[in-house]
């Protein structure tokens, strides 16, 4: 990470705000797991049932695969997250069978079983791993590779991060729309990153405009995604055009990611620097093993939704290999500046924890004063997150100085010492004074016991 300017100002503020917002969302969702109602039912957005867990409330109510949930707690299935229920509550649902007969069933919610809780916690661990890795890189350097790596980590984290159920129609629509848009943007960002790292690919060297071509599929698809989401929330059904769009998007997604991974493999193979090749030795298989399995599972399930694959609920867990292998390369081979990464990781973890605590303390107090409705609490949440991120700038500087003293107590602040040395040096004009200054300060700068200065004199002086 040496040689790169650290971020400051608005870029720093946006990075911290995004990290704090997503971190709080993950933590809040995980804290709500004990009170989360579990139905043992998975369905598409239009209510078509794809999975029914054995001995679950849905199975005992007679819900079967390929049935369609017309209403759930009085809401279309697309809005089912708005149904407020806790373990022990009973919700009535209207089910349409494959023969078009309809019936009404009662589902009694149960606490989330252990395997499902483990799955949610794994989601959170993977999301936070990506988030912390991306944040450290983003705030430590400001080049294009760092921007793309941080964006890739943020998008991956958003894809797998568990989220608390929204409390309003607007919140639910925003959640669905943001997830769809991030899904469309992710393959372009991943491909762009791997075309730049570890070396610029031939495709990008042919012209600067080509980097923008990578985002054309996402730019074209985003308006269509917005249109189909509006139709879904208005009608509660997925149109044939939307199904074709989803299948096509999934294929493009996998194709672009595969292209990116192939470019990464080719870049590593063509890297001439032995230290870089050694540092990337484990990043290479770790990245491939982490990204490809969930992509293959997602593509297969999008093309053949009824297909049941072994361990499909945990295929995403391999994503954690990506930050782990980068971390291994950092620790073992020095792919990045290890001391800087350790320090920044502690620094940003401390700042993030402080911001989360500030959120809980301030948001609850302010929300209690202005009201308890969903919309008001949402506005308060965003306001408090932004304010906490703004206040974290001076907090970061104080923690930074404290970490310097704690972690590097036996080392000198070279920039401060050199600056002080330069100031003294500029005020002296006598040779003897300059020599004495050099002899006294060089040991301090280089941490040596003593220094000797040899002066070359002319014959006249001799």
Whether residue 344 is predicted with pLDDT greater than 70 in this model: the reply is no
pLDDT tens digit sequence for 155-214: 989 988 998 888 888 888 999 999 999 999 999 999 998 898 878 888 988 877 889 999
pLDDT tens digit sequence for 151-167: 988 998 998 899 888 88
Whether residue 438 is predicted with pLDDT greater than 90 in this model: the reply is no
- Tokens 């598409």 sit at which residue? 44
Whether residue 433 is predicted with pLDDT greater than 80 in this model: the reply is no
d(CA 32, CA 37): 10
Query: Is residue 278 within 8 Å of 198, Cβ to Cβ?
Result: no
Token duo for residue 103: 């019936």
HSE-CB at 383 with a 13 A cutoff on CA atoms is 12
In terms of phi and psi (left: phi > 0; alpha: psi -120 to 50; beta: otherwise), the region of 55 is: left
Q: How many other C-beta atoms are found inside a 10 Å radius of the C-beta of residue 319?
A: 25
How far separated are the first and last CA of the chain, in Å rounded?
Answer: 50
DSSP 254-294: HHHHHHHHHHHHHHHHH---HHHHHHTTTHHHHHHHHHHHH
Domains of the chain: 9-31+115-394 (1.20.1070), 37-111 (2.30.42.10), 424-462 (no CATH)
- Read off the pTM: 0.68
* Cβ partners under 8 Å of residue 320, min gap 6: 122, 125, 126, 129, 290
Choice among 81-90, 143-152, 283-292 with the minimum mean pLDDT: 283-292
d(CA 197, CA 60): 52
pLDDT tens digit sequence for 51-61: 898 899 999 99
pLDDT at res. 104: 95
């Amino acid at each position: 990470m040496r040689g790169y300017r650290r971020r400051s100002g608005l870029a720093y503020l946006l990075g911290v705000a995004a990290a704090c917002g997503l971190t709080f969302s993950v933590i809040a969702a995980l804290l709500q797991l004990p009170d989360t109602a579990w139905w043992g039912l998975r369905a598409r957005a239009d209510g078509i049932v794809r999975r029914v867990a054995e001995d679950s409330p849905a199975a005992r109510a007679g819900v079967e695969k390929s049935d369609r949930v017309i209403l759930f707690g009085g809401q279309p299935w697309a809005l089912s997250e708005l149904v407020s229920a806790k373990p022990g509550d009973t919700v009535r649902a209207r089910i349409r069978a494959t023969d078009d007969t309809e019936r009404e069933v009662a589902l009694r919610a149960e606490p989330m079983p252990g395997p499902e809780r483990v799955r949610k916690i794994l989601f959170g661990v993977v999301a936070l791993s990506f988030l912390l890795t991306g944040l450290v890189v983003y705030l430590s350097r400001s080049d294009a590779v760092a921007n793309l790596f941080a964006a890739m980590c943020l998008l991956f984290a958003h894809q797998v991060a568990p989220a608390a159920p929204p409390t309003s129609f607007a919140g639910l629509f925003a959640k669905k729309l943001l997830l769809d848009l991030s899904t469309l943007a992710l393959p372009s960002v991943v491909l762009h990153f791997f075309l730049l790292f570890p070396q610029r690919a031939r495709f990008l060297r042919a012209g600067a405009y080509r980097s923008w071509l990578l985002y054309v599929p996402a730019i074209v698809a985003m308006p269509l995604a917005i249109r189909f989401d509006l139709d879904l929330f208005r009608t509660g059904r997925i149109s044939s055009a939307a199904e074709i769009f989803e299948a096509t998007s999934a294929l493009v997604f996998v194709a672009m990611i595969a292209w990116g991974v192939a470019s990464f493999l080719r870049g590593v193979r063509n890297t001439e620097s032995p230290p870089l090749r050694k540092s990337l030795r484990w990043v290479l298989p770790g990245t491939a093993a982490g990204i490809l399995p969930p992509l293959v599972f997602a593509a297969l399930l999008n093309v053949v939704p009824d297909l049941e694959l072994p361990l499909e609920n945990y295929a995403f867990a391999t994503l954690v290999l990506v930050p782990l292998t980068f971390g291994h390369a950092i620790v073992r081979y020095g792919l990045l500046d290890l001391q800087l990464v350790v320090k920044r990781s502690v620094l940003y973890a401390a700042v993030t924890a402080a911001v989360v605590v500030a959120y809980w303390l301030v948001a609850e107090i302010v929300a209690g004063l202005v009201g308890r409705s969903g919309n008001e609490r949402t506005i308060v949440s965003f306001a408090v997150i932004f304010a906490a991120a703004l206040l974290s700038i001076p907090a970061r500087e104080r923690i930074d100085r404290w970490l310097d003293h704690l972690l590097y107590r036996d080392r000198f602040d070279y920039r401060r010492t050199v600056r002080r040395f330069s100031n003294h040096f500029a005020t002296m004009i006598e040779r003897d004074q300059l020599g004495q200054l050099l002899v006294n300060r060089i040991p301090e700068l280089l941490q040596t016991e003593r220094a000797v200065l040899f002066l070359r004199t002319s014959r006249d002086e001799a």
